[in-house]
Structure 1
Amino acid sequence: MNHWIIAPVLIPALAGMLLLLEVRERHRLRRITGLLSCAAMLATALFLGDQAWGGEITVYALGNWQAPFGIVLVLDKFSALMLLLTAVLAFPALLYACCGDDRRGANFHALFQFQLMGVNGAFLTGDLFNLFVFFEVLLIASYGLALHGRGPERVKAGLHYVVLNLVGSALFLIALGLIYGTTGTLNMADFAVKAQALTGTDATLLRIAVLMLWVVFGLKAALFPLYFWLPAAYAGATAAVAALFAIMTKVGFYAMVRVYALAFADGPFAGLGQSALWWLALVTLALACIGVLGAKRLGTLVSYLVVMSVGTLVAALAFGQLEALGPALYYLLHSTLICGGLFLLTDLIARGRGEVADDLQIGPAILNGGRLSVLFFAAAIAVVGLPPLSGFVGKVALLRSVPDPAYWVLLLVAGLCGLIALSRAGSTLFWRTTGEGSGLRPARRHLVAVLWLLVLSPLMTVYAEPLLQLTTAVADQLRDPDLYLFAVLGGDA
């Protein structure tokens, strides 16, 4: 049995427990422990990715109890890709926090590790109940991280975030109860098989349960009308936390894709909720355009860019039989990394402006503003989808894969709105200044962390063809659910 599959869950879990035992005042030791854990996760994700790219789906049965009776972790191309994305994002985010933000509250490093444990577990689990468990792990850690640094703004945004997610957790449990009552299983593969044979009342109850799952996953992904918590929560969080949270919405999208590809891409329940997801995604995209244009803070603007990426991705998922999933996954990689980098860059700009922070109003000149303006210009080009960076490649691939006029119009309008908003923000922050700056100069580690994420956009452009081939291969594997079912259930599939 390949025990490496459980490493992305065990590494942050053990690191988090160790950090709780370490003396809080020994900041250097705590930082080294956290960074070593993230480096180990990155190395493990690369190893598992190399294993998954061969096409074999690997199943890890905890306690050697085989599915569907035991808990299983499943490694395929999709989960390996998401593990690697999480590790690539987490290391620079933590490196940025180690410049001083980690001292603004207790147990930051432990919470950061437990958050990664929940995210990685959600990507690997092959069981719906354990998906709920890992959701709760990452959410509980995120509650503490969202409030890290204290302040009335964070408390208010954090309260809304907590209440909405508690409601979502309750709906998730109800949906799981209905699924278990109708199919007698919560193993994803076993559920996908048994759902096809349901008729009558059981089939109706299962439809209700699945629609509730779409609501829950839509809340996690920040889909309309359940996205209103995100801009305040992300803009109010510290920079490193907001950057890590860029992967949070993708966990909801991952859950949608996984469940849809297994049980609802074909058979009697094919396309269940697909039409609703399509229109909700388009509305999310449209409202994100309004939010971007109306943002009064740069952090809020970047938060709405995250919402915009959610609408783009879910609409691509809801179009056809996973036909646009390959380009959507390329866009997912791009949007997660570039938005994470923008959150870090926003904090550097805010530090350089003193008391004005990231408010989009005339203020003092930014200390070291020349370097930051170049980084902001590059990030803006990438995130709105202008050539030659990865956002342009991702959007062109999506437009070719989703030949729907409404989607084309909204995606192009979204890019235009993002361009207008970021152009206005850039001119206000870097050109319309009142005099000498009174803020702080960025530390070298700050710039390294930001460059880590922003430089990936031109790299994704240079290697666009192999990356698109990789994401297309992930989509092809998802379009053949029999591979997953046979790997988990064997002959019982």
Structure 2
Amino acid sequence: MGDWIVVPIVLPAVMAALIVLAVRHDIILQRVFSIAATVALVGVTLSLVVFANGHDPEMYALSDWPAPFGIVLVLDRLSAMMVFLTSLLGLGVVLFASSEWDQRGKHFHALFQFQLMGVNGAFLTGDVFNLFVFFEVLLIASYGLMLHGAGADRLKAGMQYVVINLTGSALFLLGVGMIYSVTGTLNMADLAIQVSNVAPGDAALLRAGALVLLLVFCVKAALVPIHFWLPGTYANAPAPVAALFAIMTKVGAYSVLRVYSLAFGDMAGDMSWLAQPYLLPAALITLVLGMTGVLAAKRLNGLIAFSVVGSMGTLLTAIALFTPESIAAGLYYLLHSTFSAAALFLIADLIISRRGQFGDSLNTAPTFHQSGFLAVLFFVGAIAMAGMPPLSGFLGKLQILDAARDSDAMVWIWAIILVTSLMCIIGFGRAGSVLFWKSASVDGEITVEGAKWPVLPIVAACGMLGALVVLTAFGGPVTDYLHGVAAQIFDTSGYIQAVLGENALALLGQ
């Protein structure tokens, strides 16, 4: 693909600058530019997926500096899938926001494009330090988006979000420094070679650095014990921002998968699969705590936010097994959970905007405008998040359970996933009955001035649910692609050769 690999980063970066410099005073032009750029991004990333599916990994060297000294981007099936997922999610978000959310604060579309740049960069980079750089880009943009529209609760949650992530950034630099001090490189492909060659006296420092990085990635993925920032942040964020943040936790999960399968995988000697003993127990506890929060939630957005925590526990349980079958199953669930969380946040905003003073409180209130239509959307989103048939969440959980059959922790994994799925069903069932069924018995109807059929928000919410239907209907081809992704992840030779050349593996005696 050559120069096309860098387009998912350059396109939103240029568009963000153009919006700020040229059309910042015209909201209509901002919307046109932002939507057009995101549509183009969908087309480009789709072509990257098609290319990656039929080719070996390919590297793009910025400024033509050779690896491992220069900045490199690497396209393989995993990174192509993640940038395509980001662009699809971004298109739904920008359509929803362009109804009126983008007018509640300044520079929404510029920040949105910078956010896409940071997320896509994190998925494409082949260097741990540049992973840190793109983390900072997406975090800086997310700070502005989180506070979009102001409000005391949003400001309080935003400050907690900023403090936690700044702490994570400091730890990231610490871990990077420790790893570089003993390996002399931060290029991921080069790390895959150098880790096995580290002197025994430096092994403890390398292990410590790797565990510090794991802690940072777990912060991003909202894994126990650093999951507490997510419910307040997502529940108080503007609806389209919360929907966009559905991909943020996946950046943490992707980083765990990429770094600890490549640099600390089969070729890492004594440090092979370093993350596994820590990741699996934390993922299972995260799943339990997330679904307990769903049961205890008193507000609709809080309920959805805790379900995101629970879904990350499910995803990282699959990743923590570190087998080709579990990775393929986890990636299928990753696609599902991203769309289902985004859909629920968008649907929740449509509901809340019609409930007047009752807002997102899970209290019985009179019916509201379009409650029947929104009840159907909420029902579909709820069964998707809970993993009930016939949607893709059910297929994803079945695949994860099947992949766990040979694990020593099979009994724990099966029991916790099945019980927490029931907890999620009960929690969303309670919320749906309060919002729609019990409200039908209350006299009167809530009337909100200016209530109408908002075309773009409804299209965006239905589009996210439609993605789940497509993911279900084409579950076979998607699963086949994901098994190809898992095969590339475990056969790291293609990635290493794409970055360092065909003779790189000779250093390992291969």
Shorter chain as normaliser: what TM range? over 0.9
Structure 1 position 423 matched with structure 2 position 429: yes
TM norm structure 2: 0.95
* Alignment correspondent of 1:128: 128
Letter in 1 for 2:436: F
Deviation track 1:154-182 (CA, whole Å, cap 9, x = no partner) reads 00000000000000000000111111110
* Alignment correspondent of 1:436: 445
* Alignment correspondent of 1:14: 14
Measure how far apart 1:322 and its partner are: 4.5
Q: Give identity over the alignment, percent.
A: 49
* Alignment correspondent of 2:32: 32
User: Any residues of structure 2 matched to 1:320-469 within 5 Å, and which?
Assistant: 320-403=322-405, 404-433=410-439, 434=442, 435-439=444-448, 440-469=451-480
TM norm structure 1: 0.98
Does the aligned pair in 2 maintain the 1:85–1:333 contact within 8 Å? yes
Does the aligned pair in 2 maintain the 1:292–1:421 contact within 8 Å? yes
Measure how far apart 1:23 and its partner are: 4.1
* Alignment correspondent of 2:504: 492
* Alignment correspondent of 2:235: 235
Does the aligned pair in 2 maintain the 1:365–1:430 contact within 8 Å? yes
SS at 1:196's partner residue? helix
SS at 1:44's partner residue? helix
Letter in 1 for 2:320: A
* Alignment correspondent of 1:310: 312
Does the aligned pair in 2 maintain the 1:52–1:77 contact within 8 Å? yes
Measure how far apart 1:320 and its partner are: 4.2
Measure how far apart 1:55 and its partner are: 3.2
- The CA RMSD measured in Å over matched residues stands at 1.1
Deviation track 1:293-332 (CA, whole Å, cap 9, x = no partner) reads 0111111111111111111111111114444000110000
Does the aligned pair in 2 maintain the 1:127–1:186 contact within 8 Å? yes
Regions of 4+ moved over 6 Å: none
* Alignment correspondent of 1:477: 488
Write the distance in 2 (CA, Å) between the matches of 1:442 and 1:106: 25
* Alignment correspondent of 2:265: 265
Write the distance in 2 (CA, Å) between the matches of 1:355 and 1:35: 33
* Alignment correspondent of 1:152: 152
Write the distance in 1 (CA, Å) between the matches of 2:192 and 2:473: 39
Letter in 1 for 2:452: R
Structure 2 unmatched ranges of 5 or more: 506-510
Aligned positions, number: 493
Write the distance in 1 (CA, Å) between the matches of 2:420 and 2:12: 37
* Alignment correspondent of 1:225: 225
Write the distance in 2 (CA, Å) between the matches of 1:16 and 1:430: 41
* Alignment correspondent of 2:508: none
Structure 1 position 210 matched with structure 2 position 210: yes
Select 2:281's aligned residue among 279, 282, 287: 279
Structure 1 unmatched ranges of 5 or more: none
Measure how far apart 1:271 and its partner are: 2.2
Moved more, 17-26 or 72-81: 17-26
Letter in 1 for 2:64: N
* Alignment correspondent of 1:296: 298
Write the distance in 2 (CA, Å) between the matches of 1:320 and 1:443: 44
Write the distance in 1 (CA, Å) between the matches of 2:158 and 2:8: 27
Measure how far apart 1:25 and its partner are: 3.4
Deviation track 1:439-483 (CA, whole Å, cap 9, x = no partner) reads 333401111000100012122111111111111110111010111
Letter in 1 for 2:252: G
Write the distance in 2 (CA, Å) between the matches of 1:125 and 1:65: 14
Write the distance in 1 (CA, Å) between the matches of 2:78 and 2:275: 22
Deviation track 1:92-149 (CA, whole Å, cap 9, x = no partner) reads 1110000000011111110000000000000000011100000000000000101111
Moved more, 361-370 or 234-243: 361-370
Letter in 2 for 1:405: V
Measure how far apart 1:74 and its partner are: 0.2
Measure how far apart 1:401 and its partner are: 0.5
Write the distance in 2 (CA, Å) between the matches of 1:17 and 1:157: 28
Does the aligned pair in 2 maintain the 1:263–1:269 contact within 8 Å? no
